[in-house]
A and B are shown apart, each in its own frame.
Chain A
Amino acid sequence: NAGVTQTPKFQVLKTGQSMTLQCAQDMNHEYMSWYRQDPGMGLRLIHYSVGAGITDQGEVPNGYNVSRSTTEDFPLRLLSAAPSQTSVYFCASRGSRNQPQHFGDGTRLSIL
């Protein structure tokens, strides 16, 4: 009964470093997405995928890359970390359009 699993839970980076946030789901959901959560701004969509091999940009995609080689995994890559990317990142998955999203527990990322 794992649901959506995100790793790591916490990370501190230096400006300019790169890293990958991992997201895996075991519910065979086609739709997966990445959000960032900042105080007073709710959740903003970074990238999403409607199936393996298909990804698209959300509301705030700059500075992030994604890929979807399998149904289960949807990693988010920060190419060159910037302090503005300090945030809490959530991965979510959804089985169909009329189903709610299942969220992971989040990754708290600080860029120094």
Chain B
Amino acid sequence: AQSVTQPDIHITVSEGASLELRCNYSYGATPYLFWYVQSPGQGLQLLLKYFSGDTLVQGIKGFEAEFKRSQSSFNLRKPSVHWSDAAEYFCAVGAGDYKLSFGAGTTVTVRA
């Protein structure tokens, strides 16, 4: 079965600074990888997804993620953070079936 680890529980970043959120997965084959964002009291919104092909994936809101098979990682990045990026971020991995496994999430705080 697949699993996901998000090593950072909480990250604080200054507005305008860069952001990188880490995600490591465990799965024997090439997985389907996703990043979701959740604002307080809201549902989950898809930021980006990786299925195959180019390992650098562009998403919404200026986010990108890079799939590195050798490191079993799918880290999320944004060059310049806005105050509206304060939220909780979830990495998820899907295998050959329909099920997704989610990481525990990383909460991002943006300071002025």
Contact = CB atoms under 8 A, between A and B. Distances in A.
Size class of A's contact patch?
20 to 34
B43 A101 contact: no
B90 interface: yes
B51 A43 contact: no
B70 interface: no
Given A40-B9, A40-B104, A97 B94 contact: yes
A109 to B, nearest CB: 14
A48 B105 contact: no
A31 interface: yes
B74 interface: no
Nearest to B51: A98
A48 B102 contact: no
B7 to A, nearest CB: 13
Interface of A: 31, 33, 35, 40-45, 48, 50, 58, 90, 94, 97-98, 100-101, 103-106
